[in-house]
């Protein structure tokens, strides 16, 4: 396993241990799905209904093949096509993927030493973050031709857009809005679940006026109010990938794409052999 990935796993694991020690993970939802769904259910049973953050489960609508070698970092449905950003030094890049077959239609490698992270398309540009290089690269999304770059402080994790600004995570409990022309920060928002900070915010997607966010190394997606940072609900995707398809090699949930035209939700994970179209239902 590459050293960068090992460091990232260790940092995230240490963060969760620290939060658990502080008593923060006992809240209804924030890290309940890091183990299994029974932990969240048990916590909910001890919490008055009015004080719980709503939790949603899922139905699988369709299952599509996904490259099990793709270390998925970002996912987006755009112009009736699926785009993906992948990570790991030496294998990072951008892809356009055929949904039904999982075939890579075209791709653009990201050179070393960069570790690719989240991506989003806004206007005629595709933006791709890097983990620790402090650089975001821009491309013509139709050709994957690189046409610019930006520098930023700290780490890059997830990226989405509200149609005007870029919205970025860095693995903390905060997300920031950035100007797409300058990459300057224009707004910072703390993400909380009933007052408790939600750390390890990762891949992002704009869905019907909400920000949906993977929580690193968990099977949970947070539905976030972009005005307040409050978690409106948790989507529990425990066991969506069968145990028989898991390798234990960091194959965690990571990747949300929304097809607004057909109201379809797609999810996948790092090194997963499947991509799922799902529908939500309240628990």
* Helices and strands (H and E) in the chain: how many: 2, 22
Helix, strand, coil percentages in the chain from 3-state DSSP, rounded to 5 = 15, 45, 40
Contact present, 177 and 185 (Cβ < 8 Å): yes
Task: Give me the half-sphere count of Cα atoms (radius 13 Å) on the Cβ side of residue 270.
Answer: 24
**Could you tell me which residues are beta bridge partners of residue 281?**
57
Burial tier of 243 (Cβ tally within 10 Å: 0-12, 13-18, 19+): exposed
Q: Per-residue pLDDT for 235 more than 80?
A: yes
The model's pLDDT over 2-56, given as tens digits with 9 standing for 90+, comes to: 334 444 443 344 344 333 333 333 333 333 333 333 333 334 445 544 568 999 9
> From CA 30, how far away is CA 222, in angstroms rounded?
8
The residue assigned the tokens 């109201």 is: 263
**Global pTM?**
0.82
Residue 244 predicted with pLDDT over 70: yes
DSSP-assigned letter for residue 217? T
DSSP 168-199: EE-SSSEEEEE-TTT--EEEEEE-EETTEE--
CB atoms within 10 A of CB 123: 9
**Range in 5-14, 133-142, 216-225 the model is least confident about:** 5-14
Instruction: Give me 88's structure tokens.
Output: 């790991």
Region 99-120: what's the mean pLDDT? 94
Return the pLDDT at 51.
66
Tell the residue number behind the tokens 């039904």, with chain if given: 100
What are 150's strand-pairing partners? 136
């Amino acid at each position: 396993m590459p050293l960068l990935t090992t460091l990232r796993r260790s940092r995230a694991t240490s963060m969760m241990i620290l939060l658990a020690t502080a008593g923060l993970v006992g809240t209804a939802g924030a890290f309940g799905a890091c183990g299994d769904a029974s932990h969240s259910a048990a916590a909910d049973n001890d919490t008055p209904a009015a004080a719980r953050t709503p939790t949603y489960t899922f139905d699988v609508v369709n299952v599509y093949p996904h490259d099990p070698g793709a270390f998925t970092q970002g996912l987006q449905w755009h112009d009736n096509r699926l785009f993906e950003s992948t990570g790991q030094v030496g294998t990072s890049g951008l892809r356009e993927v055929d949904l039904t077959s999982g075939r890579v239609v075209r791709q653009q490698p990201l050179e070393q030493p960069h570790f690719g992270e989240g991506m989003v398309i806004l206007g005629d540009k595709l933006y791709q973050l890097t983990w620790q290089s402090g650089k975001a690269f821009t491309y013509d999304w139709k050709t994957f031709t690189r046409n610019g770059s930006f520098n930023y402080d700290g780490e890059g994790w997830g990226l989405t857009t509200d149609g005007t600004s870029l919205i970025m995570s860095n693995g903390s409990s905060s997300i920031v809005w950035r100007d797409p022309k300058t990459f300057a920060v224009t707004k910072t928002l703390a993400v909380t679940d009933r007052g408790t900070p939600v750390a390890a915010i990762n891949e992002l997607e704009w869905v019907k006026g909400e920000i949906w966010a993977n929580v690193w190394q968990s099977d949970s997606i947070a539905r976030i109010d972009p005005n307040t940072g409050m978690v409106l609900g948790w989507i529990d995707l425990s066991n969506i990938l069968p145990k028989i398809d898991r390798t234990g090699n960091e194959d965690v949930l990571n990747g949300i794409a929304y097809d607004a035209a057909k109201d379809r939700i797609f999810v996948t994970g790092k090194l997963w052999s499947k991509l799922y179209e799902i529908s939500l239902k309240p628990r």
